[in-house]
Amino acid sequence: MVPLNWYIELSAIIFTIGAVGFLIRRNIMIMLISIELMLNSVNISLVAFSHYLQDVRGQVLVLFIITVAAAEAAIGLAIVVAMFKNKAVLHTDEVMEMKG
């Protein structure tokens, strides 16, 4: 039997990789992919808890997270398309309308 902690640690490692990827990259597509990576790592920990605590509510939460991830991907990609139509860049350092 694999201990529960191993799953949570794997989830934490992948979440950190996603967060670091979001911080170090400036290509907006890879930033969106990093967000998906973080959402998936949380799903792994939820399914592991659901299995080890013998409760299916964690898996229902995973379904909701997948819904939110789909909505986020649709909106994020629409923003990317709108941004590319206006400025023809995918590099976030070149988008400075908001003085960020």
Q: Which of residues 44-73 bind another protein (CB under 8 A)?
A: 44, 47-57, 59-60, 62-64, 66-73
Cα separation values, 39 from 11, 23, 33, 98, Å:
10, 16, 10, 27
Q: Does 74 help bind another protein (rule: CB under 8 A)? A: yes
**Count of residues touching another protein (by CB under 8 A):** 71
In the 8-state DSSP scheme, what is residue 92? G
When binding is defined by CB under 8 A, the residue of 35, 40, 42, 95 that contacts another protein is 40
Smallest distance, another protein to C-beta of residue 15, A: 8
Q: What distance in Å separates the CA atoms of residue 41 and residue 25, rounded to the nearest whole number?
A: 19
Cα–Cα separations (whole angstroms), residue 94 to 19, 23, 28, 32: 21, 16, 11, 17
Minimum distance from residue 64 beta carbon to another protein (Å): 5
Minimum distance of another protein from residue 98's CB (angstroms): 16
Nearer CB in complex with another protein: 90/95: 90
